[in-house]
Chain A
Amino acid sequence: MLLLLPLCSWAQQNKLIVTPPEMITAKRGATVKQTLRVSVLPGLHVNSDKPKDEYLIPLKLTWTGGPLETKSVSYPKPEDIKVGGQELAVFTGSFGIETEFKVPENAPAGTTNMTGKLRYQACNNEMCFRPASTEVKLPVSVE
């Protein structure tokens, strides 16, 4: 029972889990794709990247540092649900967010990290939790 308490306090802060991504290896000038695996806790949903209501906060993956250039970020097709008469476009369960990177010709060779953040806003059918961000690290090996 006591073993579950740390899990509980962790759960109060994180409504989704990002699986630490495996290292990607790429040559200078190449284009590489990487899929970030995300799991939303059971019973919850997060707004999709394009919520139907302008006031709802979208899921957004932003790469902020590292040797690669971000060409595009693609989100899966959202699930349409209805909560109390309100139509929502959400993500639930496990899903992937795909990023296409370009390796610059002048990228330094070696192993380093791409860093980024995933901003999200989680709710269930009765309540919403404060918008949050989780740090993301992607190990990269440039050849």
Chain B
Amino acid sequence: MRRLTLPAAIVLIAIGIFSFDSCTGSKSKAAGEASKAAEAARKPAPNFTLRDENGAAVSLADYKGKVVLLNFWATWCGPCQIEIPWFEQFEQQYKSQGFAVLGVSMDDDGWQAVKPFVVTHKVNYRILLGNDSIGQLYGGLDALPTSFIIDREGRLAYTHVGLAGKNEYLSEIQSLLASKAQSAASLGVAAAPALLVGAAE
């Protein structure tokens, strides 16, 4: 077996340390991990049906046509509590434009833990109770908060593992709301003359 040269050994050790640091979830940067899918590469958000606090069945598919911020959280998650007031504001501000926040609680203690929290924090968006199955559907959800921003076609546009910046969320939501508005507007402009031309012929 060939011996490793010193530089190669240093590189391997550095990669190893980096990998270990990544897998412990310990990071020194201020925000969590974020990823953006290019529009053509967006994958459908896995559908699910969960119950809200009134026992009503709620499916993600019910929200097709809306931009959805799907937030996995838990009452015991401190960083989740930081984001909740932002989401309340987003819900209020953009609801009329076809936006909704869906909060899926991953509390093992169920509604017994979640209901008082929702009341205390005056959460104004829909909260559902999650389970391990939905956790698997969305990649395991080892860390909370984990949030997905879903476009109007029901595709995963943005993913945030860990606390993200409020402005980051805002610009992503606005861009998804605006891109649809723009495409609808451009379709309308293009379609009208075509119809008129057709009618004239």
- Chain A positions near chain B (C-beta within 8 angstroms): 1, 3-4, 7-9, 11-12, 15, 41-44, 53, 55-57, 83-86, 88, 121, 123-131
Contacts and interface: CB of A to CB of B under 8 A. Distances in A.
B46 to A, nearest CB: 20
Which of A3, A43, A128 is most buried by chain B, counting CB atoms within 10 A of its CB?
A128
B31 interface: yes
A85 B76 CA distance: 16
Nearest to B32: A126
A123 B26 CA distance: 9
A42 B22 CA distance: 11
Given A53-B78, A83-B82, 4 more contacts: A8-B19, A9-B23, A124-B25, A127-B143
28 contacts: A1-B16, A8-B19, A15-B24, A15-B25, A43-B21, A43-B24, A43-B25, A43-B28, A44-B24, A44-B25, A55-B76, A56-B76, A57-B76, A83-B82, A84-B79, A85-B82, A86-B82, A88-B78, A123-B78, A126-B27, A126-B32, A126-B162, A128-B74, A129-B142, A129-B144, A130-B142, A131-B76, A131-B108
A124 B75 contact: no
A41 B77 contact: no
Contact of B82 (A9, A42, A55, A84): A84
A56 B78 contact: yes
Contacts of B48: none
Between A55, A88, A126, the greatest number of chain B beta carbons within 10 A of the residue's beta carbon is seen for A126
Given A84-B79, A121-B76, A127 B145 contact: yes
Contacts of B12: 1
A126 B21 contact: no
B144 A128 contact: yes
Contacts of A127: 25, 32, 77, 79, 143-145, 161-163
A57 B106 CA distance: 14
A41 B75 CA distance: 23
A123 B24 contact: no
A88 B78 CA distance: 9
A55 to B, nearest CB: 4
A124 B144 contact: no
B169 to A, nearest CB: 14
Nearest to B145: A127
Nearest to B121: A55
